């Protein structure tokens, strides 16, 4: 075992590799750089290369053996992949692209200019071209797009030893061989058999006698998230993907699922933070793209927030006669916003992770309403005390306290109701996340506050 | 293949199974209920049982065959596991608990009352007791706690066919056999060999000649999140866990990793929403436990928010002389809060997913500062217009617009700086998420706003 395998220091070792690589390349010590990279896993080499300047990247990439270059290339970010591809000689480009797994290749093509895609695609080996075109035929984020058409299938009527022989021949080329799929003569999926079961079976049994017939599978047009949930739920290593006729097209493997679920969690988190999540990493994107991701929500929120300005200007006489009321607006609307944010956050996450599938919406909403009111009561006592200290008037304290209870109950309800409604209408409930909920809670909160004030303080 | 495998309708089929099960049990049609459950995967049976009332749960569970009962039991929520366990006859309880995977068992014991744990533990088979005690010896959320001590290892000097023979013997008992681990005579980890490689190798080769020596592994005391990241990064199916001496203790499998990463994402999301995430699902927890999860943050936020009341009361003469200023406080602090929330959200997610490992904090913070200012300028133009419409005074419009730019830049900076600082100090950066950032941005925002007002409007 290499030292690099020690996880508590592996990230530090990765940094050392990157710095050393840079240094060796600057000193034109190419042999040294080559030696440095030999024991390093491809994903770490890719990261080290990404840390270099563009010309250095090409230099480092050329130091790798052909098989290593292919492995490393798949881990590079697509902008680095593209810039390398443009600098390759034609044959070199074809070799690399041809050796990529079809799903990784489809991903690369997605981000490449169309004319470059056409040029490269035209030069691919017909079978590789067909595999890629198959994937590119499905919408992004569907099972068909993330599957790999490279899997091992055997016929149901083979013996275990024939199947083992076939696997031995095929496995060298295939990306994965976690399961072996059993099909009929027209390639319809009949069952699966694991390598483990094949090892455990006696050689002269028939495949159909050892295969598992209850297969969990998905159709190619299903959303990738559903594929991920199936693999997670049933603890699978890979999920077979079929067309309408049940013909086996490919498999989605568990390592892709981890990335899909992570991407999805990032999307939810960004939505809750009011940032658009599409495309590359936020931290790798340019300044303008950052603004473009953040401005849309901010504009929606500012425009919605005009309502608060309007409402407060309508109650000018209330604020004018008791200016102390203004002191408490930030506290009240922040607290309402926070309670609404709590409710919408747990609801949105619950909808994503399928936790809410067996819960009745009416019950969930009602419980949030009561929870909000209860939280409001706890906080109202505290705020009443604060009000007494700062303004010393019981009526103002009561106004603030009562408003807080009403605002809290309302914010929790709105924070649950709106994401649910959005979900029911087929939209992404994450659009009804904290930023928007906070704004809605603020508008309603100010309306409640100023009306309670008017009533209790006998104004107007 | 069963119909239940159709993913587009599998969730509906799950609901049908649950409803049917309830109906059949109510009609005391136990044979029918038994038949209904035969083709259903254990995880779905567990879900259906969980939807029943407590007495019904026991009834349904007794309908299962012993091996099925064991498989289903592992998927039940721990409160259902416990309530069933209490009703089992002693021997029955021991049988079930003894057949659980040691990591699932350790999880169950975590949530059981200590005296029940002692009683059950005392009656376990010595080897199972030892396996459980080993896991319970590690802190929750460490590699040692989530690993399973059931793995297959072979000696480096065996031949491939001896190894295959050993695997055939052992694989029946073991939870997983994705990889086979190669050890020396004192059980120190030397390498791995995949089942696939064993099939591909010729029978008389030595294991040490076909094994992979560069093994990625983790120490048992390492955080489970780090284990998950290693498996994700290197696309592994399982990660071997060793002690300080390199002795192989167990493996963490990829299906656990999916759950670990999902749990971790939920924790981050809840933190961003200001809700504590520990323990069972939010939607399954009782009313008091919900309040207990939400009150702490709300109290912190309200207490911090007292500063806004204090500041505004100090500027009473400003608000008193130009009451229109109060109209804009909600809009200004909401916008500042939203920009701060955006920054802190992307930063916290970036720290969780390791995206920020190669970025210089100073650069990231500076970029956020500029992005915040740029966003502030865009929004200021809009808000200036709003101000002119509602109050028609240029000075107030300018005050609001300038304040917004300053608040936006500041909020973005604070939203980046505070989570970074927390991270550097070794705390969870998620504590510096939206709710707290919003409050800090509000306090600073009001201070900026009222001071700019004082200056531009010549008050006091």
Q: Report domain extents, chain B.
A: 3-137, 153-254, 282-456
Kindly report, residue by residue over B49-69, the tens digit of the pLDDT. Answer: 888 888 888 888 888 888 888
* Cβ-contact A238, A153 below 8 angstroms: no
Alpha-carbon span B79 to B96, nearest angstrom: 16
- Shortest CA gap A178–chain B (Å): 8
Q: The domain A282-456 is classified under which CATH number: 1.10.510.10, 1.10.1200.10, 3.40.50.300, 1.10.357.20?
A: 1.10.357.20
- Buried-state track A93-102, b at ≥16 Cβ within 10 A, e below 16: bbebbbbbbb
Residues of chain B neighbouring A191 (CB-CB closer than 8 A): 1
Q: What is the pLDDT of residue A279?
A: 65
Mean pLDDT of the B292-316 span: 86
Does the pLDDT at position B417 exceed 90? Answer: yes
Q: Which residue in B has a C-alpha nearest to residue A274's C-alpha?
A: B342
How much is the pLDDT for B108?
A: 77
CATH class of B3-137: mainly alpha
- Taking CA A440 as the corner, what is the angle to CA A439 and CA A446, rounded to the nearest 5 degrees? 90
How close, in Å, is residue A299 to chain B by CA atoms? Answer: 7
Q: What is the mean pLDDT of residues B435-454?
A: 90
* CB pair distance less than 8 Å for A39 and B346: no
Q: What percent of chain B has pLDDT over 90?
A: 17
Task: Say whether B349 and A257 touch across the interface (CB within 8 A).
Answer: no
Specify the CATH number of the domain A3-140. Answer: 1.25.60.10
Tokens of A394: 């019981």
pLDDT for B366 beyond 90:
yes
Q: Which residue of A has its CA nearest to B215?
A: A1
Judged against a pLDDT cut of 90, whether residue B189 lies above it is answered with yes
- The whole-angstrom separation of Cα A406 and Cα A444 is 10
Query: Which residues in B lie closer than 8 A to residue A214 (C-beta atoms)?
Result: 1-2, 4-5, 39, 41
Q: Which two tokens stand for residue B402?
A: 């300038």
Q: Decide if B346 and A226 are in contact by the 8 Å CB cutoff.
A: no
Q: Which residues of A touch B191 (CB under 8 A)?
A: 1
CA angle B171, B174, B175 (to 5 degrees): 125
Hey, are the CB atoms on A178 and B326 less than 8 Å from each other? no
List average pLDDT for each run of 10 residues in chain A, which is 460 residues long: 42 75 87 85 86 84 84 84 79 78 77 74 77 78 84 88 82 62 91 80 88 87 89 87 89 87 86 77 81 85 85 87 87 89 90 82 92 92 85 86 94 93 86 83 91 84
Largest CA distance in chain B: 95
Question: Residue B341 is nearest to which of A43, A200, A274, comparing CB atoms?
Answer: A274
Q: Which residue of B has its CA nearest to A430?
A: B269
Contacts of B20 (CB under 8 A, 6+ apart): B36
Chain B residues with beta carbon closer than 8 angstroms to that of A200: 168, 171-172
Task: Say if residues B380 and B402 touch (Cβ distance below 8 Å).
Answer: yes
Pairing of strands A238-242, A218-219: parallel
Is A434's CB within 8 Å of B234's CB?
no
Convert the pLDDT of each residue in B262-296 to its tens digit: 888 888 888 888 888 776 678 877 888 888 888 88
* H or E stretch at A390: helix A361-391
CB-CB contact of B277 with B266 (8 Å): yes
pLDDT for A409 equals: 95
Smallest Cβ–Cβ distance between B200 and the set A47, A168, A327 belongs to: A168
CB-count exposure of residue B361 (10 Å: 0-12, 13-18, 19+): middle
CA atoms within 13 A on the CB side of A327: 26
- Cβ contact, residue pair A371, B290, below 8 Å: yes
What is the pLDDT confidence band of residue B183, given thresholds at 50, 70 and 90? very high
- Whole-number pLDDT of residue A178: 66
Which of B167, B222, B342 is closest, CB to CB, to A7? B222
Of the candidates B168, B290, B302, which has its C-beta nearest A383's C-beta? B302
For residue A379, give the nearest of B269, B298, B391 by CB distance: B298
| Confidence category of residue B174, pLDDT binned at 50, 70, 90 | low
> What topology does CATH give the domain A153-254?
CBS-domain (3.10.580)
Give, in order, the Cα–Cα distances in Å from A451 to each of A316, A358, A448, B228.
12, 39, 5, 53
Residue where the block lists tokens 């997610």: B349
Q: How close does chain A come to B247, measured CA to CA in Å?
A: 13
Are the C-beta atoms of residues A219 and A138 closer than 8 Å to each other?
no
Residues of A in contact with B377 (CB under 8 A): none
- β-pair type (A248-253, B189-194): unpaired
Q: How far apart are CA A392 and CA A394, in angstroms?
A: 7
- In chain A, residues with a C-beta closer than 8 Å to the C-beta of B390 are 309-310, 313
């Amino acid at each position: 075992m290499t030292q690099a395998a020690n996880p508590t220091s592996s990230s530090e070792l990765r940094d050392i590799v990157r710095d050393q690589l840079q240094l060796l390349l600057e000193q034109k010590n190419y042999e040294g750089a080559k030696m440095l990279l030999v024991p390093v896993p491809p994903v770490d080499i890719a990261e080290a290369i990404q840390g270099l300047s563009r010309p250095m990247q090409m230099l480092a990439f050329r130091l790798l053996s052909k098989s290593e270059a292919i492995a490393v290339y798949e881990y590079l970010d697509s902008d680095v992949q593209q810039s390398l591809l443009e600098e390759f000689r034609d044959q070199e480009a074809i070799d690399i692209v041809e050796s990529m797994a079809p799903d990784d290749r489809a991903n690369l093509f997605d981000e490449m200019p169309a004319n470059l895609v056409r040029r490269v695609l035209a030069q691919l080996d017909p079978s590789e071209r067909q595999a890629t075109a198959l994937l590119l035929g499905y919408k992004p984020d569907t099972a068909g797009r993330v599957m790999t058409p490279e899997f091992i299938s055997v016929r149901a009527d083979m013996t275990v030893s024939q199947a083992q022989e076939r696997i031995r021949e095929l496995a060298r080329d295939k990306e994965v061989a976690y399961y072996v799929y059993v099909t009929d003569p027209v390639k319809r999926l009949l069952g699966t058999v694991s390598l483990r079961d094949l090892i455990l079976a006696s050689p002269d049994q028939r495949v159909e006698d050892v295969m598992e017939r209850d297969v969990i599978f998905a159709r190619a047009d299903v959303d990738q998230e559903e594929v991920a949930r199936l693999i997670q739920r049933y603890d699978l290593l890979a999920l077979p993907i079929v067309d309408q006729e049940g013909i086996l097209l490919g498999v989605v493997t568990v390592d892709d699922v981890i990335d899909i679920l992570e991407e999805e969690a990032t999307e939810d988190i960004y939505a809750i933070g009011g940032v658009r999540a599409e495309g590359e990493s936020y931290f790798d994107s340019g300044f303008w793209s950052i603004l473009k991701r953040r401005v849309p929500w901010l504009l929606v929120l500012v425009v919605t927030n005009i309502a608060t300005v309007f409402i407060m200007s309508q109650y000018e006489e209330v604020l004018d006669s008791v200016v102390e009321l203004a002191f408490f607006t930030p506290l009240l609307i922040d607290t309402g916003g926070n309670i609404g944010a709590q409710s919408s956050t747990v609801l949105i996450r619950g909808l994503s992770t399928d936790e809410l599938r067996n819960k009745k919406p009416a019950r969930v909403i009602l419980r949030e309403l009561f929870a909000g009111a209860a939280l409001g009561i706890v906080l109202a006592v505290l705020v009443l005390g604060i009000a007494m200290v700062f303004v010393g008037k019981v009526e103002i304290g009561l106004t603030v306290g009562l408003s807080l209870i009403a605002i809290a109950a309302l914010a929790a309800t709105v924070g649950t109701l709106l994401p649910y409604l959005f979900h029911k209408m087929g939209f992404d409930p994450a659009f009804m996340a904290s930023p928007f909920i906070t704004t809605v809670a603020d508008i309603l909160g100010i309306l409640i506050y100023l009306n309670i004030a008017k009533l209790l303080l006998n104004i107007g």
